[in-house]
Amino acid sequence: MRLTVLDRGHRLPARVFFGFTELVSRVPMSDVPKALLYRPDFFGAVFLDLTAKAMRGPSFWTAGEREYLARATSERLRCPFCAVTHTELIELAGDPSPLRPELVAALAFLDDLPPTDLPRDAAVGALDVSFVFQVVNRLANTFDFQLRPGQLKSGTRSLHRFGYRFPRFLTGPGEGTIAELRRAVLEAPAHTPAELRRAAAAGDAWGTFAATVREASHRITDDDIARLRQDHTEDEIFEVTVAAAVGAALDHYDTARKILGD
């Protein structure tokens, strides 16, 4: 983790949850929940609801097919942490190979966004999965998520068993929507001005940083984050990174929905 606050800056409920989980599993807490449960009111609560619905809610796609879509997105965005994780989850959820034609078409649609004759619920379901992991991939690359001994099997089994859901005392009430995520990350009061977060979402903030998060997050280095720390707090870096990641995912999602006629 390149930000100390994502490793040790959580509120008491999250710290208790992490401690209990680590005690029972004897495995360190994964970087994913550490990032998503940091300041859930800003980002994580809405996003985790979206993730649970996309990955295990009612869908045209089986759980294994959704994991396959998640891995394809992770490979496209060059996120080895997520690609390895979802390779393991494919085995747990059910390997969809050989792929049915609809899944092959969905992969092509997500990759290049050509017109598609997929059933509408299939196209939207695939977009929902892609949206979630376009955000996670960019955060994982920027914040340098790492798999530590025991985490892969323990973490993936927990995600699969609990359907990507976390206890409500960690995330709060409510159901996440993309509209609410857009509002929370780009409009609601936070440590950074909304104008800066909207600029980051468009790739125009802090020199080339926001654009790199959007377009090539795998190129972010420790030195990049260290330079930002000279002028910005870790909370500010977190918010701008999240805004850039969400902005890129929204652009892809909005373009695809227009192709579908929305």
**Whose structure tokens read 């609601």?**
188
Q: Per-residue confidence at 255, pLDDT binned at 50, 70, 90? A: very high
Question: pLDDT band for position 174 (50/70/90)?
Answer: low
Residues 223-250, mean pLDDT to the nearest whole number:
98
Residue 173 has pLDDT above 80, yes or no: no
Is the pLDDT at 19 greater than 70? The verdict is: yes
* Sequence ranges of the domains in the chain: 4-259
Residue-wise DSSP of 149-204: TTHHHHHHHHHHHTTT---HHHH-SS---HHHHHHHHHTS--SS-HHHHHHHHTT-
- Cα–Cα distances in angstroms (integers) from residue 172 to residues 27, 158, 168, 188, in the given order: 26, 20, 5, 17
State the average pLDDT over residues 218-234. Answer: 98
pLDDT of residue 163: 96
pLDDT of 230 > 90? The answer is yes
Which residues are CB-neighbours of 21 under 8 A, at least 6 positions away?
29
Which amino acid is it at 196?
L
Percent with pLDDT over 70 in the chain: 100
Identify the band that residue 75 occupies on the pLDDT scale cut at 50, 70 and 90: very high
